[in-house]
Amino acid sequence: TASAQVKAAEAALRRLQQGREAAERRVAESRADAARVADVLAKTDIVAPIAGVVTRLPVQEGEMVVMGIQGQLGTTLMTISDLAAIDAEVKVAEADVLRIALGQPASVTLEAIPGVPLTGRVVEVGASALPVTGTGAAAREFKVKVRLDHPDQRLRPGLTCDAEILTAERQN
């Protein structure tokens, strides 16, 4: 009986040792998995190429995002704007666009800040017309960018404005 009890105790000891070894393997596997996840996380840091202010954040933490591949756009995570240099994008009719040149002075007024004209200069003139929207045969328009000389700190992307561009000046 004592011999049978010793054999049973030895078998129980072997089962416990095997259980401990299995638990050690599970711990090692979990550590390896944690290291793999930490490596993947370290590779998913996205650093912006510019410093600025987040002006649009369409996704929140925990949402699924898609990486862009082969001409398909991915998910836009955020829009970062450099508010130190603000451009006003205006539409200019095709009848007037040929008189506009880089460097011409402009005066921009915003609906959000009425009565406060902001000065600037033309920095870009669209090379082709903007797509026509709607069903009517409207005149073509071109995008012109005016960089503001001294942007107001209250300005934010997306505000609407009107611009007057000085294309020529004659004395007397």
How many other CB atoms are found less than 10 A from the CB of residue 88?
Answer: 22
How many other CB atoms are found less than 10 A from the CB of residue 104?
Answer: 17
Total residue count of the chain as it appears in this document: 172
**Of 99, 88, 95, nearest in space to 138 by CA:** 95
Tokens of 31: 């550590």
CA distances 72 to 53, 75, 108, 109, Å, are: 27, 10, 37, 38
More confident residue, 8 or 83: 8
Q: Express each pLDDT in 42-69 by its tens digit.
A: 887 777 888 888 888 898 888 888 888 8
How many other CB atoms are found less than 10 A from the CB of residue 36?
Answer: 10
pLDDT band for position 22 (50/70/90)? very high
| SS percent in the chain: helix, strand, coil, step 5 | 25, 25, 50
**Of 102, 113, 103, nearest in space to 151 by CA:** 113
Residue with tokens 């930490």, as numbered in its chain: 38
pTM of this structure: 0.62
How many other CB atoms are found less than 10 A from the CB of residue 103?
Answer: 7
